[in-house]
Structure 1
Amino acid sequence: MIEVQTLDDLNYSFPAKPKPLTDAQKAQHISRIKTLLERENAVLVAHYYTDPDIQALAEETGGCVSDSLEMARFGAEHEAQTLIVAGVKFMGETAKILTPQKRVLMPTLEATCSLDLGCPADKFSEFCDAHPDHTVVVYANTSAAVKARADWVVTSSMALELVEHLDSQGKKILWGPDKHLGGYIAKQTGAEMVMWQGACVVHDEFKSQALIALKEQYPEAAVLVHPESPAAVVDLADAVGSTSQLIKASQTLPNSMFIVATDKGIFYKMQQQAPEKTFIEAPTGGNGATCRSCAHCPWMAMNGLEAIENALSTGGKVHEIHVDPELGKEAMKPLNRMLEFARNLK
């Protein structure tokens, strides 16, 4: 039997968040970063879960604020020779794999992901070897080595369609690493899926009973849920989808209030796109010591303005992402399949 690591098996050493900055300090860092982006022929690519100041800076400087799929596309297509990726490490690795000729920097290389940590490449490879007749589909939230072992890489914005496509061809699917997203896809598609038992430290903490109580308090609110959440939470949703899909739902649904079960970093973009609407965090497993994440990824929180400035000003000596070229070539294959499939979905 293959040993599968879960959240309970992992001992997290959560990193320290950047020190709070005054408005004056923020303005100084932002000014310097803008100058450095030009000097270094660089562009800032930020995930929806990063700090609002970083998202705003990416927008102001012609960068990108998006989900991981669009981050990968944007970085590959942009003319800048340096990408600075504000997110977590697998996002930086993906950017490097897709554009090996570019320099890829991150505010910190210590920003990781519980899904990545909970899916070691050697154990996952053993899991794949135990199911040789299955097509291996892995979520983007994985290391370069895990991607290299896969037949397909997907993001949450296209996972349903891809699995449905493979199922229509009679493929048996091995899915990793997020068990909640995998379970949701299996339920929606009816596909035969063998699943790695990983979970996101943020989404795994959303609680259905507390959500029911909050919904009773705000009966007019629509519930938006990311499918990395437990099934009991997903079942309460008015809309289920990726970050970009949830942002769109917040604009198109008629409700004036939303309870949102995903990382609260997304509120910046939701509020920007629908300023007249109200957004409330879905309840998690508790507060303080009883809560691993409290609806915000502790590794995403490591991204700060000072760290971005340091990455650009030092030439990336301790900020540059490196991926073994041969490993990158293997990981490129399923990533390119993902991008081509996504293009055909449009």
Structure 2
Amino acid sequence: MVEKNARALDSEVIKQYLPQGKTIEELEEDMAPKSRQELKDRIKILLREKDAVLVAHYYVSAELQELAAETGGFTSDSLDMARFGNEHPASTLVVAGVRFMGETAKILNPEKKVLMPDLDATCSLDLGCPAEDFATFCDEHPERTVVVYANTSAEVKARSDWVVTSSIAEKVVRHLHEKGEKILWAPDKYLGDYVRQQTGADLISWDGACVVHEEFKAEALKQMRLDIPDAGVLVHPESPREVIEQADVVGSTTQIIKAAKELPNKRFIVATDRGIFHKMRQAAPGKEFVPAPIAGETVECIACAHCPWMAMNGLQNLAHTLETGENEIHVDPETGRRARVAVERMLEFSRNLKS
């Protein structure tokens, strides 16, 4: 069930935090190819000089994803971003994504410098789960095991027993449920609802949502499926239940890419951030990917299937932070120590699954 928690930030409040005007991603689309290449060349030199490695999320621009690959960095989902940064020997980690990803990198690597292109690149799930209010919520349910999604602040992670990503959430909660534990989940109510359905766990959830995934519309998706009957439907579990119910595959970003590669369909309707299309086209060349619809009677298009905070990452501010050392992530050492216990628990659980 979802706790209708009045302390959670509502969508109108979250909108105030959205970037104003054009994002850097949009501005850079107007740059001449020569200027963009000069920036890339400069960034490659700076990465070497600073003993730095670039770690990027699937939702940032194709140029940043390619730059990570070309320089020995890494592009993936938040779980593997955390794992890669933790294992890489570079003394500086540059995280192209949103703030909670940079904080997670710092939590796991307190001895390393962690930089981000823009510290204002945040997440509606993080914004909608303030640490003080969340601590009160936990105190109201002391008998429950606290499981939080990675899309949260370091302070919220420090209050948790487990941190999970979408690729491992169901497995962790099933493991806890089989041990007889009751779950307090935060912050995404749709992912929490999906995990509860899949595992049968006794789970109560914080009332939060992603501004991108919440906008996918079930009725419009039904019509799109009629219009493109041969298309497979791939859905991220942060989406509303009525959208998830129409999916051929429900999964994390990595799982969606894998499904596009392995399923026989030549076309796919994809309900997640459109930034993922770059990696999907690489993994499944020759296949066609169509964004799931956000149009509908109640639509309030905030991000139009692309996270506006992810779009704040660009070549220009990446070069600037490498040149100046600005936009460094700092986490209070004691908060980081407590949060690290929950994050490392997730990584250890993931390693055990693989072995």
Common fold by TM > 0.5 = yes
Note the alpha carbon deviations across 1:121-146, whole angstroms, 9 max, x for none: 00000000000000000000000000
In structure 2, how many angstroms separate the alpha carbons of the residues matched to 1:308 and 1:286?
A: 37
Residues 13-34 of structure 1, C-alpha deviations (whole Å, 9 max, x = no match): 3214012222111101100000
Do the aligned partners of 1:7 and 1:199 also contact (CA within 8 Å) in 2?
no
The answer (yes or no) to whether the contact 1:6–1:199 under 8 Å persists in 2 is no
Correspondence 1:213-232 to 2 at 5 A:
213-232=223-242
Task: Please give the per-residue CA displacement for 1:90-119, whole angstroms capped at 9, x wherever unaligned.
Answer: 000000010000000000000000000000
Amino acid of the structure 2 residue aligned with 1:5 = A
Structure 2: runs of 5+ lacking an equivalent: none
Q: Could you tell me which of 290, 300, 303 is aligned with 2:310?
A: 300
Which residue of 2 is the match for residue 329 of structure 1?
337
Residue aligning to 2:285: 275
| Amino-acid identity (%) | 59
CA spacing shift, 1:5–1:285, aligned 2, 3 Å: farther
Aligned with residue 346 of structure 2, among 319, 338, 341: 338
Distance 2:65 2:146 in 1: 33
* CA drift at 1:8: 2.8
User: CA offsets, 1:30-50, max 9 Å, x none?
Assistant: 000000000000000000000
Change (3 A) 1:239 1:53: same
In the alignment, the residues of structure 2 paired with residue 48 and residue 345 of structure 1 have an alpha-carbon distance, to the nearest angstrom, of 23
Q: Could you say if the C-alpha distance between residues 33 and 224 of structure 1 is closer, same or farther in structure 2, counting changes exceeding 3 Å?
A: same
2:18 to 14, 36, 55: 14
Aligned residues of 2:14 and 2:127 also touching (Cα < 8 A): no
Kindly report which structure 2 residues correspond to 1:150-165, keeping only aligned pairs within 5 A, or say none.
150-165=160-175
Q: TM-score, normalised by structure 1?
A: 0.97
Question: C-alpha distance in 2, partners of 1:208/1:53?
Answer: 32
Confirm whether residue 70 of structure 1 aligns to residue 67 of structure 2: no
Shift of 1:6: 4.8
Matched, 1:166 2:190: no
Shift of 1:9: 4.9
- The answer (yes or no) to whether the contact 1:2–1:126 under 8 Å persists in 2 is no
C-alpha displacement of 1:7: 4.0
Aligned to 1:113: 123
Structure 1 segment 136-215 matched on structure 2, within 5 A: 136-215=146-225
**Residues 308-341 of structure 1: CA distance to partner in whole angstroms, max 9, x if unpaired?**
0001011x23x10000111100100000100000
Q: What per-residue deviation string (whole Å, max 9, x for no partner) do you get for residues 59-93 of structure 1? A: 11110000000000000000100000000000000
1:131, 1:211 → 2: CA distance? 37
**Structure 2: distance between partners of 1:74 and 1:246:** 20
Check 1:147–1:284 CA distance in 2 against 1; reply closer, same or farther (3 A cut). Answer: same
Output the TM-score relative to the length of structure 2.
Answer: 0.95
Aligned pair partner of 1:239 in 249, 264, 268: 249
How many correspondences in the alignment? 343
* 1:102 aligned partner: 112
- Structure 2 distance, partners of 1:82, 1:286, is 44
Deviation at residue 251 of structure 1 after TM alignment? 0.3
Residue equivalent to 1:320: 328
Off by >6 Å, runs of 4+ in structure 1? none
Q: CA RMSD in A?
A: 1.3
2 CA distance for matches of 1:275 and 1:285?
A: 28
Q: State whether residues 220 and 296 of structure 2, in contact with CA within 8 Å, keep that contact through their aligned partners in structure 1.
A: no
- What amino acid sits opposite 2:349 in the alignment? F
| Cα distance in 2 for residues equivalent to 1:82 and 1:296 | 28
1:251 to 258, 261, 266: 261
- In 2: Cα distance, 1:293 partner to 1:285 partner: 12
Task: Work out whether 1:39 is the aligned partner of 2:45.
Answer: no
Q: Deviations over 1:170-216 (max 9, x none)?
A: 00000000000000000011100011010000000000111111111
What amino acid maps onto 1:57 in structure 2?
L
